[in-house]
Amino acid sequence: MAGLIARALLLALSTVALSQVALAAAAEEGDDGADEVPGDLGRLAPSPAKLMHDYRVYAQDSPSEPFTAPRAPMLARYSSAALRARIDRSTAGSVVIAPLLDESGFKSLTTAVGQGLRELARRQLGGLRAIIVADGYVDLPLLAKSLPKDAIEQVAPGIYVARLPILVRHGATLQVGPGVRQLRLSQERGALIANEGMLFILDSEVTGWSEQRKAPARFHDEHEFRPFIVGWGGSETYIDRSRIAHLGYASTKAFGLSLTQYSTMAIERAVWPRPTGWVLNSDIEDLWYGFYSWEADDVVLRGNTFRNNVKYGIDPHDRSRGLIIADNEVFGTRRKHGIIISRDVDDSWIIGNRSHNNNLSGIVLDRQCSNNVLARNLTYRNGSDGIVISESPHNLLWSNLSVGNQHHGIRLRNSTGIRIQDSSAIANGLAGIFAVASDLSTTGRNLTLDPYRQSLSMTVVGGQLSANGSGPINLEAPTRVEMQNLDLRTPQRALGYKLGGALYAFQIEVLDILLNGRRTAVLEQQPANDPLARR
Hey, which bits of 61-119 come out as E strands? 94-99
pLDDT bracket for residue 496 (50, 70, 90) = low
Q: What is the mean pLDDT of the chain?
A: 90
pLDDT over 70 at 6, yes or no: no
Note the pLDDT of residue 417. 97
Cis peptide, bond prior to residue 178, ω within 30 of zero: yes
What mean pLDDT is predicted for residues 512-535? 79
pTM, two decimal places: 0.92
Strand 55-60 and strand 349-351: the pairing is unpaired
pLDDT bracket for residue 99 (50, 70, 90) = very high
In a domain, 523, yes or no: no
Percentage of the chain surpassing pLDDT 90?
A: 78
Question: Does the active-site annotation cover 356?
Answer: no
pLDDT over 50 at 79, yes or no: yes
Note the pLDDT of residue 377. 98
**Model confidence pLDDT, tens digit, residues 255-300:** 999 999 998 888 888 899 999 999 999 999 999 999 999 999 999 9
In a domain, 421, yes or no: no
Note the pLDDT of residue 13. 34
In order, the DSSP letters of 206-275 are: EEEEETTTTEE-----TTS----EEE-TT-EEEEES-EEES---SSTT-SEEEEEPPPTT-GGGGTSPPP
Task: Decide if 223 contacts 249 (C-beta within 8 A).
Answer: yes
Cα 328 to the center of its chain, rounded Å: 13
**Model confidence pLDDT, tens digit, residues 360-405:** 999 999 999 999 999 999 999 999 999 999 999 999 999 999 999 9
Q: What is the CATH number of the domain that holds 204?
A: 2.160.20.10
In a domain, 4, yes or no: yes
Residue 279: partners with Cβ closer than 8 Å, 6 or more residues away: 237, 238, 239, 240, 257, 291, 299, 300, 301, 302, 304
Note the pLDDT of residue 491. 61
DSSP state of 188: T
Note the pLDDT of residue 34. 81
In a domain, 513, yes or no: no
Neighbours of 89 (CB within 10 A): 12
pLDDT bracket for residue 324 (50, 70, 90) = very high
Note the pLDDT of residue 498. 84
DSSP state of 504: G
**Model confidence pLDDT, tens digit, residues 183-217:** 999 999 999 999 999 999 999 999 999 999 999 99
* Segment holding 83, helix H or strand E: helix 80-84
pLDDT over 80 at 232, yes or no: yes
Alpha carbon distance 92, 206 (integer Å) = 23
Note the pLDDT of residue 19. 34
Alpha carbon distance 436, 55 (integer Å) = 15
In a domain, 432, yes or no: no
From the list 170, 220, 223, 317, the catalytic residue is 317
In a domain, 261, yes or no: yes
Buried/exposed code over 29-39 (b: 16+ C-beta within 10 A; e: otherwise): bbebbbbbebe
What mean pLDDT is predicted for residues 27-38? 68
Note the pLDDT of residue 534. 42
Domains held by the chain: number: 1
pLDDT bracket for residue 37 (50, 70, 90) = confident
* Closest CA relative to residue 311, chosen from 91, 29, 122: 29
Domain of residue 274 covers 1-30+88-310
In a domain, 192, yes or no: yes
What mean pLDDT is predicted for residues 311-317? 97
**Model confidence pLDDT, tens digit, residues 139-179:** 999 999 999 999 999 999 999 999 999 999 999 999 999 99
Alpha carbon distance 149, 110 (integer Å) = 27
DSSP state of 101: G
Note the pLDDT of residue 531. 46
pLDDT over 70 at 113, yes or no: no
pLDDT bracket for residue 27 (50, 70, 90) = very low
pLDDT bracket for residue 8 (50, 70, 90) = very low
Note the pLDDT of residue 115. 67
pLDDT over 90 at 530, yes or no: no
In a domain, 112, yes or no: yes
Identity of residue 45? A
